[in-house]
Amino acid sequence: MPLLKSRQSDTVLVGDFKVAPTDLDVQARALGERRAIPSGSPQGLWEARRAGVADAVRHLHPDERSYTFWKYWRNSFERDAGLRIDHVLLSPSAALMLHSASVRREPRSWVHTSDHAPVMIELDLASGDAARM
């Protein structure tokens, strides 16, 4: 039972938040075409980040431009005029287990695909157990 109780704090929240938290998450051309999704965090996401919640991609790649969403029009994907609005957020204990995080662009290039690219993470669950001991 103690292991189950400690695991409750290992939280991963995944989704399309429709938020581009930093300027690195917005290609200027994408923002210029339509300002529907501004750079900047809504209050709830900002509070979570201040409380120690980690953005998995930004945690491992702090200075890298990567996008998860490209509109279907004006060749946005081909011009890389994208936004990073899909996020994997990790509680402080889950962030300790983060092994890798990446955006998989290839599926976005397929015919009849989503306008979003998958965000993938790997967690090293064994390191999380060792950190608790």
Q: What is the pLDDT of residues 92-121, one digit of tens each?
A: 999 999 999 999 999 999 999 999 999 999
81 and 33 in contact (C-beta within 8 Å)? yes
Give residue 2's pLDDT band: very low, low, confident or very high (50, 70, 90): very low
For 28-78, write each residue's pLDDT tens digit: 766 554 444 555 556 666 667 667 899 999 999 999 999 999 999 889 999
Number of domains in the chain: 1
Is 6's pLDDT higher than 50?
A: no
pTM for the predicted model, two decimal places: 0.79
d(CA 130, CA 133): 5
For 78-94, write each residue's pLDDT tens digit: 999 999 999 999 999 99
**Residue whose entry in the numeric block shows the structure tokens 């290839």:** 106
Say which CATH number the domain at 82 has. Answer: 3.60.10.10
d(CA 10, CA 128): 9
* Sheet strands (E) in 1-133: 12-16, 54-55, 86-90, 98-103, 119-123
Span 5-13, average pLDDT? 70
State residue 29's pLDDT score.
Answer: 62
Nearest to 9 by CA among 121, 129, 119, 124: 129
State residue 36's pLDDT score.
Answer: 44
Residue 36 structural domain? 2-132
Dig out the tokens for 109 from the structure: 């290039």
State residue 127's pLDDT score.
Answer: 77
